[in-house]
Structure 1
Amino acid sequence: MKNIDTYAPDRLITPGGRVLGWRDLFSLWFSLGIGLAVLQAGAILSPGLGMAGSLSAIALGSLAGCLLLALAGVIGYDTGRSSMATMAFSLGKTGASVPSLLNLLQLIGWGAFEIVMMRDAASLLAARALGSTSLWANPALWTWLFGFCATALALAGPLAFIRVVLRRFGIWLLIIACGWLSWSLWRRADMAGLAATAGNGTLPFAAGCDIVISMALSWLPLVADYTRFGKSARQTFFGTLAGYLAGSLWVMALGGAYALAFVSNNDASALLVALSGAAMGIPLLLILIDENENAFADIHSAALSSALLVPMRVKPLTLIIGLACTLIAWGVPLSQYENFLLLIGSVFAPLFGVVLVEHFLIRRRGLAPAAASSWRAFLAWACGIAVYQAMVQWLPQVGATLPALIIAGLLHYGLSRRPSQV
């Protein structure tokens, strides 16, 4: 029997392949909600909003983003297909190649960024423990080591990783790490003074919520790659929602608190230094190990996207993409690539406004093929992108993610109600 992990991304997962319960999905999304980027997002919020404002933005933004993420996860369960393969229901089979290509480009870039973040944190911990001249403080060594580990996890496939690694012991290591960081913060910081710390006003509250929402929505192009293996729509929805909400709330709040308590600027390396000082850096080390899961998800989902574009099996594509991410992390100055990645990422919020409306309101979770007039979906998507860019340019204090998603969805619904002209 063929391993279901190697199924083509557009092939329906049969009932026998739906093996992930809510605890499996909770473990996966709790893990993906925890990471160095999430810690840094919390650190970005706290100077401008203060502790109370940051916690409010984190709570509201996480709830909104996680609800949308969980709804997109249900689409994966309903269709039994990967995220990019589900685009065919809205954009048509040919039209789905556009988001698949964009997703492939962004995931290769973000996979490289994950390796860079892990490399920098590991090099810092090694230099603090063994000295800056130690072999283990060499960034190149960690680049290749983390690239190898992430690629190996992606080759093993999501089911083996989630059920064997995450559910059995990975989630417990993460709970220990976050609990340890929380306890260290309680011991080292003036909690009363921290809670009373006001923001400097440089970040509007709505923009802070937008940052938090965008962290959850950054997983929209990947979520169905894993939820298609869910046992039921109910377990899929609540496992995804609860897992990512719990992980991101906890870690983003920790990032904001550590930044206010121990960091005098928003520099990522300064936050790492502060975190490495907690309990000899052991909690940061555990989170660093977990960061491989984010890189694994980027590599695996990039392989699924590329499988829709080229006639190759998923596993060889996984190996190629893992090597590409590692090479980019090793030799390319990623700071010049970051704006391009953010630009690509901005197209997916309005796209999923279209996809969610199509699935839940127009097709009512049915699996009828996309209408021949998929130009309507493309028009709504393009208008949503324009709204996003306009909001960023002229109303950055309001935020762009939710307005773009909502307007694209409403426009698609309105266009779909118009009778087709033959």
Structure 2
Amino acid sequence: MVLGIGGPLIVVRHWLEKFAIWFSYGTAVFITYVVVSSFPQIFSSGGDGSLPATLALDLVIAMPISWWPLISDYNRFSRSERGALFGTVSGYTFANSWFYALGALLVLAYPGEAVISSIVAITFGGLALTFLLVDETDNGFADIYSAAVSVQNMSPRCRQWKLIVAVTAVSVLLAGLVPGSWQSAYQSFLLYIGAFFVPLLGVVAVDFYVVRRGRYGLEEFYSSAKGLRVKQVASWFVGVAVYFILYVCTVWGSSIPSFVASAAALYVLERVT
């Protein structure tokens, strides 16, 4: 909450750049080295087939897709569009690839144990986990700050710091509802994120690159803007429905079909109406 009230410039320049990012890098390098050097046989290990590849892909997609709606809250402070694009794509691709691979290595090195227990089992693993938890404060900050910004976009007269306090309070209350078996709940949580955010990206992509071709007026984003964009919302709901139907009824995977469905729905609606 305190980081959220401070704002992204203070958090990035005085916390992330100077401290948190180095905690994260140092800890990740240490854990990677220990696992790779102590368990060289894991590179010849295979999966047990308990998770279908298509469902695994949905989970992998859900994690990065969960952050893309927040990007503009921070990229608006970038010095250039090119820098914002390159920094986001390169940084997120590198970090996601590394940490997903590291997570897979930990599961193979310590089968049957939770990932957190696996980290603690490493020499100095408890200290490494502490550093990671310290770095994770930026995730809570991003969620709280961006939620407050989203509400403020709909109600500009609301004071941002009050919204941040309210979002924090609601988040703490909801956290108390998380079941003890949070790892299985977290998988469902990621799938729900994918169900809503993947189709949303399909709508945004078609609207920006095909329908509007990047031509937006600043007035469209302020109080003078028109109300709900029915075609975009309807297309989004189509994609969400496709995601859940495929997840429940098939093993084909849901992310890519739902993206295509929402994108195609908006394209058709824009052409026929």
Tell me the TM-score normalized by structure 1. Answer: 0.57
2:171 is aligned with 1:317? no
Q: Which amino acid aligns with 2:49?
A: G
2:59 is aligned with 1:211? yes
Q: Which amino acid aligns with 1:351?
A: L
Aligned to 1:274: 118
Aligned equivalents of 2:226, 2:158: Cα separation in 1: 28
2:10 is aligned with 1:169? no
Query: CA 1:277–1:207 in 2, change beyond 3 Å: closer, same or farther?
Result: same
Aligned to 2:84: 236
Query: CA 1:372–1:176 in 2, change beyond 3 Å: closer, same or farther?
Result: closer
Aligned equivalents of 2:139, 2:133: Cα separation in 1: 10
**Other structure's SS at 1:346 match:** helix
Aligned to 2:152: 307
Query: CA 1:283–1:309 in 2, change beyond 3 Å: closer, same or farther?
Result: same
Aligned to 1:334: 178
Shift of 1:363: 1.4
Q: Is the 8 A contact 1:263 1:271 kept in 2?
A: no
2:5 is aligned with 1:155? yes
Which structure's relative contact order is higher, taking Cα pairs within 8 Å and 6+ residues apart?
1
Query: CA 1:155–1:371 in 2, change beyond 3 Å: closer, same or farther?
Result: closer
2:231 is aligned with 1:376? yes
Shift of 1:154: 0.9
Q: Is the 8 A contact 2:59 2:191 kept in 1?
A: no
Shift of 1:162: 0.9
**Other structure's SS at 1:254 match:** helix
Q: How does 1:334-353 map onto structure 2 within 5 Å? A: 334-335=178-179, 343=192, 346-353=195-202
Q: Is the 8 A contact 2:239 2:259 kept in 1?
A: yes
Shift of 1:300: 0.6
Q: How does 1:116-265 map onto structure 2 within 5 Å? A: 151-189=1-39, 191=40, 193-265=41-113
Query: CA 1:328–1:417 in 2, change beyond 3 Å: closer, same or farther?
Result: closer
2:146 is aligned with 1:297? no
**Other structure's SS at 2:68 match:** coil
Aligned equivalents of 1:319, 1:405: Cα separation in 2: 34
Aligned equivalents of 1:388, 1:251: Cα separation in 2: 26
Aligned to 1:399: 253
Aligned to 2:271: 417
Aligned equivalents of 1:317, 1:340: Cα separation in 2: 24
Aligned equivalents of 1:359, 1:230: Cα separation in 2: 20
Aligned equivalents of 2:25, 2:17: Cα separation in 1: 12
Render the CA deviation track for 1:274-297: whole Å, top value 9, x for unaligned. 201223222211111111111111
Q: Which amino acid aligns with 1:293?
A: D
**Other structure's SS at 2:36 match:** helix
Q: Is the 8 A contact 1:357 1:412 kept in 2?
A: yes
- Runs (4 or more) in structure 1 with deviation over 6 Å come to 370-373
Aligned equivalents of 1:292, 1:226: Cα separation in 2: 16
Aligned equivalents of 2:150, 2:228: Cα separation in 1: 24
Render the CA deviation track for 1:2-24: whole Å, top value 9, x for unaligned. xxxxxxxxxxxxxxxxxxxxxxx
From 119, 128, 143, the equivalent of 1:283 is 128
Shift of 1:371: 8.1
Q: Which amino acid aligns with 1:413?
A: Y
What's the C-alpha RMSD, in Å, of the aligned pairs? 2.4
Tell me the TM-score normalized by structure 2. Answer: 0.86
2:210 is aligned with 1:364? no
Q: Is the 8 A contact 1:380 1:409 kept in 2?
A: yes
Shift of 1:345: 5.5
Render the CA deviation track for 1:146-191: whole Å, top value 9, x for unaligned. xxxxx111111011111222122322221111100011112322x1
Aligned equivalents of 2:200, 2:162: Cα separation in 1: 29
Query: CA 1:345–1:301 in 2, change beyond 3 Å: closer, same or farther?
Result: farther
Aligned equivalents of 2:192, 2:57: Cα separation in 1: 19
**Other structure's SS at 1:417 match:** helix
Aligned equivalents of 1:235, 1:205: Cα separation in 2: 34
Aligned equivalents of 2:116, 2:228: Cα separation in 1: 50
Q: Is the 8 A contact 2:65 2:194 kept in 1?
A: no
Render the CA deviation track for 1:171-228: whole Å, top value 9, x for unaligned. 2221111100011112322x1x211112222222222222111111011232211122
**Other structure's SS at 1:168 match:** helix
Render the CA deviation track for 1:18-69: whole Å, top value 9, x for unaligned. xxxxxxxxxxxxxxxxxxxxxxxxxxxxxxxxxxxxxxxxxxxxxxxxxxxx
Aligned equivalents of 1:373, 1:186: Cα separation in 2: 52
Shift of 1:343: 3.8
Shift of 1:342: 5.2
